[in-house]
Chains A and B, each alone.
Chain A
Amino acid sequence: MIDRKTHRLFSVLAVLLGLIYLLPLLWIVLTSLKSNSEILQNPNALIFVPTFDTYAEVIGSGVGAVMTSLKIGVIVTLAVLVIGVPAAFALARRINPVWGRVIAAGLAVLLILQMVPQPMTVIPLYSVLAGWGLLGTLPGLILADIAMLLPFAIMLLRPFALAIPSALYEASELDGASTFQSFRMITVPMLSNGILTVTTVIFITVWGEFVFAINFLPEGTVLPIAGLLAQQNTTYAANWNSLMALAVLTALPLLILFFFAQKRLINGLSLGAVK
């Protein structure tokens, strides 16, 4: 379909496109391996003696931050799944016209909540959390994260739940299974692809979340790594190597996660996003 000349042109363009995304990534890694004096003298040098000094410097505050991020990431991801999977199941079951209307209303609400930009929820949440004594606490931050990501998770899971043939549910009902039994024996196993996609996306999003973290956590606590990076962004304005080392440290766990989840992520996102 594509003649040889076009194919060659497209290959060249594909390589160029790849470089536009790859080179900046290599550049941060390279910068994070430069020494402070090297950065000040010649920030764009390609040839230099690599040093891990910056990492040694950053790792002190970095390890605590990574632990905080892990804690928040795991709790939020688990909670979103425990609440979101049953909701996606319920919103994918076409039982009768009345329930159909409940589904339509539920989806509309979820969609609107999902569209609310985060800097706009942070303003009222600040006052809501303060009123309930949750401002400046980890549970407050975690609840805010869960509420922010839940609509997105349900919308992403629902197409996977819709793909389960309703004949399966009917057959299990004829066998006398309760709704919970059908949910546990049919829905959860058949949703495994969707659940893995959502787990990856939610974890990645929580890992990079900083707006809630810098506003809702008390001063003096160990910020999650994204919060630390956001903070250093102002203080270390000229300390580019520290900033880049911290950026690499933030991105590294995601790179590992990405290696395992890449295919599923690419397929799962194109299914969930368009539907």
Chain B
Amino acid sequence: MPSHQPMGRRARGKVPVAYLVPGFLVLAAFAAYPMFVLVRMSLSDVGPSNIVGDWPFVGLRNFADVLGTGEVWQSIWRTAFIAFFLLASNLIIGFMAASVLAIKGKLPTIVLGIMVFVWALPPLVSGSLWKFLLNDSGAINGILEAVGLPPAAWLSEPDLALWSVAAVIAWASLPFSILIIRGGLLAIPIDVLEAAEIDGASYWQSRFQIVLPLLRPTLWILGILTVLYAFKSFDFIYVLTRGGPGTVTSTLPVKSYNDAFSDFAMSTGATVAVVSMLFVVLLAIPYLRSLRKEVIE
């Protein structure tokens, strides 16, 4: 302990190391060690026959192979497309919807309840639901026909599939961003808004000139979480299209899974996974910084 501590105030308790040990052991064995194995796999030649056994070391050959073909770059672009789509919907629609749901009364509580329930549903369930709604003779095409518009092959038309998948993921993740933005809105002191009103600001003026700047830290974190969510967007695509038709909805996580478990090219899958991990870690840096500030305080 530093000597400048006032006398009489002894060291504040023992360091609770023992409380971290069980968590440390489980995570070391089943989370950190597998990450090490993943990297080793990407540097070796592993197929279905030698998954248990010797892995011949091949250096960076897998990376050269994977990055040398156009496929992985297309997957990177698709992942980026989903990330941008989600950013637009989670931040812009999320902010508008959170403002709408900030009105008084029972109505917003009920709507928010329904939305959060949908968000809490397993992606598998909501994914199956949309697979049904979007199929060729599904309800969405039924509605289009009823109003006289031509039906579309939402999930099997190559030009459309990625948009449909992105829209379903946006539908499923919007409730969470509304929840977060609404939390930020409710934390804004009411007298700040009242002062603006007295100064003659209209509702929309105070929205854009006062509320939005105050929400900046919240929106910043939500933005990072949203981009990360795009890298995790596996379940929905697995249920809706499995990466197809062809490979048009094969984002990075879908590609690495399909490489490893459909084509049994474990090394290729691991290499794609390591490439996407690099993106994830890059995104983690600003998030880690904000966290460190909090700890140092």
Contacts and interface: CB of A to CB of B under 8 A. Distances in A.
Contacts of A183: 16, 19
A247 B13 contact: no
Contacts of A165: none
Interface string A82-102: 111011011101011111101
A165 to B, nearest CB: 13
Contact of B280 (A82, A116, A118): A116
Contacts of B57: none
A28 B132 contact: yes
Given A3-B203, A27-B133, A147-B30, A116 B35 contact: yes
Given A27-B133, A243-B132, A123 B16 contact: no
Interface string B261-297: 1000010011001001100110110011001101110
Given A93-B13, A100-B295, A274-B180, A14 B111 contact: yes
Interface in B1-29: 1-2, 11-17, 19-20, 22-23, 26-27, 29
Contact of A123 (B112, B133, B232, B260): B260
Contact of A111 (B114, B193, B284): B284
B239 to A, nearest CB: 6
A95 B107 contact: no
A262 B116 contact: yes
B257 A122 contact: yes
Q: Interface residues of B toward A: which range?
A: 35 or more
Contact of A120 (B193, B221, B273, B294): B273
Contact of B124 (A91, A208, A262): A208
Interface stretch (B82-90, B97-105, B157-165): B97-105
Contact of B130 (A24, A107, A121, A262): A24
B270 A124 contact: yes
B60 interface: no
Given A113-B27, A270-B183, A123 B273 contact: yes
Given A123-B273, A128-B37, A118 B234 contact: yes
Interface of A: 1-3, 6-7, 10-11, 13-15, 17-18, 20-22, 24-25, 27-28, 31, 43-44, 82-84, 86-87, 89-91, 93, 95-100, 102-104, 106-109, 111-113, 115-128, 130-131, 143-144, 146-148, 150-151, 154, 166, 169-170, 173, 179, 182-183, 204, 207-211, 215, 226, 229-230, 233, 240, 243-244, 247, 250-251, 254-255, 258, 262, 265-266, 269-271, 273-275
Query: Top 4 nearest A-B pairs by Cβ distance?
Result: A208-B122, A147-B30, A270-B183, A44-B142
Given A143-B26, A208-B125, 10 more contacts: A93-B16, A95-B14, A115-B228, A119-B273, A121-B31, A126-B260, A151-B31, A226-B124, A233-B239, A266-B116
Interface of B: 1-2, 11-17, 19-20, 22-23, 26-27, 29-35, 37-38, 41, 46, 51-52, 97, 99-101, 103, 105, 107-108, 110-118, 120-126, 128-133, 135, 137-139, 142, 171, 175-176, 179-180, 182-184, 193-194, 197, 203, 218, 221, 225, 228, 231-232, 234-235, 238-239, 253-254, 256-257, 260-261, 266, 269-270, 273, 276-277, 280-281, 283-284, 287-288, 291-292, 294-296
